[in-house]
Amino acid sequence: MGPLAGLRIIEIEGLGPAPFAGMMLADMGAEVISITRKSAPAGAPPRKDISERGKKSLALNLKSAEGVEVLLKLCESADALIEGFRPGVAERLGIGPEHCRARNAKLVYGRMTGWGQTGPLAHAAGHDLNYISLSGALHAIGRAGEKPVPPLNLVGDFGGGGMFLAFGVMCAIFEASRSGQGQVVDVSMVEGSAALMHMMYSFMAQGAWQDQRGSNMLDGAAHFYDTFETRDGKYVSIGAIEPQFYQLLIELAELDPQTFAPQMDPSQWPQLKAKLAEVIKTKTREQWCEIMEGSDVCFAPVLSMNEAPEHPHNVARQSYIDVGGVVQPAPAPKFERTAPQVQHPPHQAGADSEQLLAELGYNAESMAQLRERGVLT
């Protein structure tokens, strides 16, 4: 049983970051009920959207008064509800914070958008790339003299959004256990991704960071903190920051100690990087792994998504698992006693509708009537 066993979370189905937050909570043992718009058709192939693992699924028409009533009844026994609508949409549907907390004063209402619930941009459309543009994160990522590089949608959607939603909701649930009162958690991906930039803002305040990408120790400017191509066209990463680790890099790569002595002189970084790149390209990735992997050089091969689950370290820790024939990252982090686990593969949309309604007191006849009226979809 995971550490959140016993919690009930309602998730209004959306895209990307909110389902990810729901997945994290389900991985930790919470009962997560995903409210979807429409049931899967009969004979649909198994779902492969990893974010839906471990969740129950209820297909409900929230544009009907009866559908809203079903959701509000669910709120009576829930610890939290999470949604990713634009501001005001949930209120217009009749499932906003005040509607839901009228049924359960302890309910935590987690809301996540890119811009936040208030402010000049609150009602504008956007995506991860736009949100991390506003936080300063995107500006800092990329090579010197080149345009910013989108870091997939890891920084805004998932790091600055979904993880902050899960964290914020759990903070509010903890507080509600003491106060008896729920509250709204307003998650902005702009603010979440800004929080992820805290160390760079610290460095800048200390005069140790230039507000120009590709010119700092951690953004690819330094020769001892970057990726390098190997002889077979693959890549390795080196992060030998500390002096003792840098010295080991010099020894194992057989670099000239005198040439590479000025480690922290930024004016020397370009030429030292070129020299190190030449050395790294003389051997294959596997050869460099034999020389450096597991040492204190701070070294790792750059693995593809297909390669990562097969690496011995990941295998030993069971960092990747197979769920329903789909290889995927395992629940994280690990716990000493209350081990998290994937409760089951993704259920088909609407697969748990009848079970959940039966728990709310609906009988077979009333459920059939709800289907006829398009409430259960």
Active-site residues: which are they? 127, 157
User: For the packed helices 189-196 and 163-179, what is the interaxial angle rounded to 10 degrees?
Assistant: 100
The number of CA neighbours under 13 Å toward the Cβ of 326 is: 17
- Alpha-carbon dihedral sign for residues 52, 57, 60, 66: negative
Partners of 8 in the beta sheet? 31
Contact status, residue 22 vs residue 9, Cβ threshold 8 Å: yes
DSSP 29: T
Sorted by sequence, the CB contacts under 8 Å of residue 158 that are 6+ apart come out as 16, 17, 20
H helices within the chain, ranges in order?
Answer: 17-27, 65-75, 89-93, 97-101, 128-134, 163-179, 189-196, 198-205, 243-252, 269-280, 285-292, 312-316, 353-359, 364-372
Structure tokens, 53: 């693992």
Tokens of 322: 């197979």
